């Protein structure tokens, strides 16, 4: 299942684990990323907590936790090479994986068509 938020994040559910990144649209708007700071694994987060700091050539932005849950894994590859987020935002440029406190909450997020309408 692939879902989106109005904050331009994507969430891909695979079993109990949800992988989170930013959309190609967001990556393009931000411009080349030069810095990514990720949370520690095993951190409990609440929806809208600032969990990731990203900086592009232009400005700093925060990535918010899309839902309540626990961070289980982070993608060190984007810390070493932030432009990976621009080059491959939907696959290799993911930020973190998490388990959700209430997996059903994911149903309330935007589907691909709704997200596409949002950015039109």
Partner 1 sequence: MASESELKVTPLHGLHVELGARMVPFAGYDMPVQYPMGVMKEHLHTRAAAGLFDVSHMGQVELHPKSGDVADAALALETLVPADILALKPGRQRYALFTAADGGILDDLMVANMGDHLFLVVNAACKVQDIAHLRAHLSDTCDIRVRDDRALIALQGPGAEAALAAVGADISDMVFMDVRQLEVKGTGWTVARAGYTGEDGFELSVPADQAERIARNLLAQDGVAPIGLGARDSLRLEAGLCLYGHDIDTGTSAAEGALLWSIQKSRRPGGNRAGGFPGADTLFAQMADGPSRLRVGLKPEGRAPVREGTALFASTDADAPQIGSVTSGGFGPSVEGPVAMGYVPADLAATGTEIFAELRGKRVPMRVADLPFITPTYKRK
Q: Name the residues that contact partner 1, by CB under 8 A.
A: 31-32, 34-35, 37, 53, 55, 57-60, 83, 86
Nearer CB in complex with partner 1: 43/101: 43
5 vs 56 by CB, closer to partner 1? 56
CA nearest neighbour of 38 among 13, 65, 11: 65
What is the nearest approach in angstroms of partner 1 to the Cβ of residue 78? 12
User: Secondary structure of the chain: what % helix, strand, coil (to 5)?
Assistant: 25, 40, 35
For partner 1, give the closer residue by CB, 18 or 85.
85
CA dist 89 and 94 (Å) reads: 7
Sign of CA dihedral 57, 85, 37, 54: positive
CA distance 89 to 111: 17
CB of 102 to partner 1, least distance (A): 30
Query: Measured from the CB of residue 51, what is the shortest distance to partner 1 in angstroms?
Result: 13
* Min CB(111)–partner 1 separation in Å: 29
């Amino acid at each position: 299942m692939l879902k989106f938020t109005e904050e331009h994040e994507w969430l891909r559910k695979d079993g109990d684990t949800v992988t989170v990144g930013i959309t190609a649209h967001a990556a393009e708007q931000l411009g080349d990323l030069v810095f990514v700071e990720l949370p520690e694994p095993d951190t409990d987060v609440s929806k809208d907590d600032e969990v990731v700091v990203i900086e592009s050539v232009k400005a700093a932005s925060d990535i918010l936790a899309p839902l309540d849950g626990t961070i289980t894994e982070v993608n060190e590859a984007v810390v070493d090479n932030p432009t990976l987020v621009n080059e491959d935002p939907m696959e290799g440029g993911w930020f973190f994986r998490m388990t959700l406190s209430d997996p059903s909450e994911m149903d309330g997020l935007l589907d691909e068509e709704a997200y596409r309408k949002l950015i039109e």
